[in-house]
Amino acid sequence: AAIEAVGARVEPLPAFSPDLTPVEELASKAKEYLRSVGARTTQTVMGAVGTALEQITPSDIRGWFQDRCESLALQGRAQRATTCTAGQVHPQPRFGRPPILEIFRRTRE
């Protein structure tokens, strides 16, 4: 009800829909960084994961969500691509720095 109250609607997603999952692009960018620094052992991967995640910017996240919105529009599941412009997408951590980054930061110290 709260979602509809602000003029939005819930769209059911298929069981797995990589074209609508921004986390796929997040993982891809993180893995690209890990490959670029040559992280191949458990120790080097654990040491580099936090830095890899820090490479992901708010602009990246907004772009990935914008891409999902445009994909929905092309599928006819959203009225038009402008229904979710980048200015309306505000993925931000709820408590400052995302906890996953803090966990990996502690493992590197």
pLDDT tens profile 54-91? 898 888 888 887 777 777 666 665 554 444 544 444 34
Q: What is the pLDDT of residue 94?
A: 43
Residues 6+ apart with CB under 8 A from 7: none
pTM, 2 dp? 0.54
**Which sequence spans correspond to the domains of the chain?**
18-108
| 66 contacts 83 by C-beta, under 8 angstroms | no
- Rounded to the nearest integer, the mean pLDDT of the chain is 72
pLDDT band, residue 16 (cuts 50/70/90): low
Q: What is the pLDDT of residue 106?
A: 53
Q: What is the pLDDT of residue 75?
A: 65
Q: Which residue has the higher pLDDT, 104 or 11?
A: 11
Q: How would you label 14-41 residue by residue, b for 16+ Cβ within 10 Å and e otherwise? A: eeeeeebebeebeeebbeebbeeeebee
